[in-house]
Amino acid sequence: MSVRAIKRIHEEGGLYIKIPDSISDVRNYYGTFFCKVLNHFNKDKNLVRKINESARFESNWMNNHVLLSCHPLTEKYGFVKEDYIELLFESIEKQKRKWFRREIEEIPIFPQRIIEDLDFVPK
């Protein structure tokens, strides 16, 4: 399972959304999320379009942000400041060092259940 989130898009040096509070415990992992982008809402919380595409998103743990600037889906669907997007955070990438190599492991987020972190409840 995973974390379903509807988050407002912010802009300060680039477009981003805040990482859901329910995921903030996984800070010890490097910041690549595997998500499914479900819907795009405008600033008035009206559905703009259904998306339903999987994507990888880099994060900035220092600021607790998921970065949207320069992402292909941002350009494709025209995400802008103050809009909202609905995502399903499915897993996070964990990087480990073994000797001189880095190993990457995909860790499911809340594999037994779905947690919701919604800025609003869609109609």
- Per-residue pLDDT of 48-98, as tens digits, reads 999 999 999 988 877 788 999 989 999 999 999 999 999 999 998 877 777
Tokens standing for residue 106: 């995909």
- Per-residue pLDDT of 24-38, as tens digits, reads 765 555 578 999 999
Is the dihedral angle over the CA atoms 73, 75, 78, 82 positive or is it negative? positive
Tokens standing for residue 44: 């008035």
Domain boundaries, the chain: 3-116
The whole-angstrom separation of Cα 2 and Cα 9 is: 21
Tokens standing for residue 19: 């990482």
- pTM of the shown model: 0.87
